[in-house]
Amino acid sequence: MAQPRILILGAPGAGKGTQSANISDEFDVEHVTTGDALRSNKQMDISDMDTEYDTPGEYMDQGELVPDEVVNAIVDEALSQADGFVLDGYPRNLEQAEELEDMTDLDVVLYLDVSEEELVHRLTGRRMDPETGEIYHVEYNPPEDPEVEDRLEQREDDTEETVRERLRVYRENTEPVVEYYDDQGTLERVDGEQAPDDVWESVKETIEDAA
């Protein structure tokens, strides 16, 4: 089988990072994320675009959002350099989904389907060890050392109010992308509420069947 070109969709907390790493290892494809692509192309010359800055890095240094057209160009560049890939974190809106059509032909579009309450449970249960930066979960992955457990902190990003707002923004912007692929008949839904190993089995089978 040629190296597949895979898009993985899902809300924050759905497990995209874990499954993307599994896909990358199993199918020997590159894990392309918008964050990594931006960081590795910080000095890309975008002076021919009608943008405020001449490189993506200048937006990042100013703490500003990188415009869609720049993100599109960077993702296009990253995908053109990969034989096969799992794309994670893009497209975030319908315009980007339409751009992606022009960049590449996807073999599989995966959607990790997880209910909002389960996502809230997963994300609000995350805790960080301020001394090591390690991430734990109060239920799924608690630390073995009681001392570590006592010093764990909840990050501001993981409070219920913030989590629900992140999910609202996701629904508003990215759910139309899910519907876009569903309407095309290319979306493969995977039950993301199974145990991680079972999710991986479903993901693997779906890719093998489709690619």
Q: Which of 5, 122, 126, 127 is catalytic?
A: 126
Q: What is the spatial distance between Cα 141 and Cα 144, in angstroms, rounded to a whole number?
A: 9
Question: Helix, strand or coil for residue 7?
Answer: strand
Rounded to the nearest 5°, which phi and psi values hold at 14?
A: -80, -20
Confidence (pTM): 0.86
Q: Which of 5, 122, 127, 166 is catalytic?
A: 166
171 is in an annotated binding site: no
Q: Read off the pLDDT of residues 5-20 as tens digits, 9 standing for 90 and up.
A: 999 999 999 999 999 9
Using the predicted structure, report yes or no on whether residue 211 has a pLDDT greater than 70: no
Q: Which of 92, 151, 164, 204 is catalytic?
A: 92
Q: Read off the pLDDT of residues 156-197 as tens digits, 9 standing for 90 and up.
A: 889 999 999 999 999 998 999 999 999 999 999 999 999 889
Q: What is the spatial distance between Cα 16 and Cα 110, in angstroms, rounded to a whole number?
A: 10
126 catalytically annotated: yes
Does domain 5-210 correspond to CATH entry 3.40.50.300?
yes
Q: Read off the pLDDT of residues 101-158 as tens digits, 9 standing for 90 and up.
A: 999 999 999 999 999 999 999 999 999 999 999 999 999 899 999 999 999 999 988 9
78 is in an annotated binding site: no
Per-residue pLDDT band at 38 (split at 50, 70, 90): confident
Measured from the Cβ of residue 133, the count of other Cβ atoms closer than 10 Å reads 7
Q: Which of 77, 23, 16, 75 is nearest to 211 (CA)?
A: 23
